[in-house]
Amino acid sequence: MKQFILRLFPIVIIFLFVFSTQAFAAGDLMSNAQRLLNDVYGKFVAFSTAGAGIGVGTGVFMRKFSMGKQHTIELGGKIIKDSIIGWGVLNGLGLILNFIAPYLQ
């Protein structure tokens, strides 16, 4: 048991030094909040654009390869419309976050 503790002790000390956070490196609350909002805005734009592109592409392919089925053509158009609306909503959320960020300074 003593050998186990003697082997484990240096590993625990190394993990404490490596994974400990230091208070002086944290920064103030407002700069952290602004950095977080900018990061979230960038992720919103990236995900909404990718999602809208996939949705519009799916809708276009459904309309193109519908083989004349009216239901599939209408469903493809609905997917295109919903993708564009979703893209607008997510980018609108990003704009709201971008609008709030200067007030946090």
Residue 18 counted as domain residue: no
Residue 47 counted as domain residue: yes
Residue 5 counted as domain residue: no
Give the C-alpha separation, 15 to 68, whole Å. Answer: 64
Tens place of pLDDT per residue across the chain (105 aa): 667 777 778 777 777 776 666 555 566 767 777 777 778 778 878 888 888 999 999 999 988 888 888 888 898 999 999 999 988 888 887 788 778 767 766
pTM over 0.85: no
Closest CA to 29 of 97, 96, 104: 104
Give the C-alpha separation, 42 to 95, whole Å. Answer: 11
Residue 90 counted as domain residue: yes
Residue 11 counted as domain residue: no
Contact of 83 with 59, CB cutoff 8 Å: yes
The alpha helices in the chain, defined as continuous H runs, are 2-19, 29-64, 70-100
Residue 9 counted as domain residue: no
Residue 53 counted as domain residue: yes
Structural domains in the chain (count): 1
Give the C-alpha separation, 58 to 78, whole Å. Answer: 11
Give me 20's structure tokens: 């400990």
Residue 57 counted as domain residue: yes
Domain that holds residue 81: 28-104
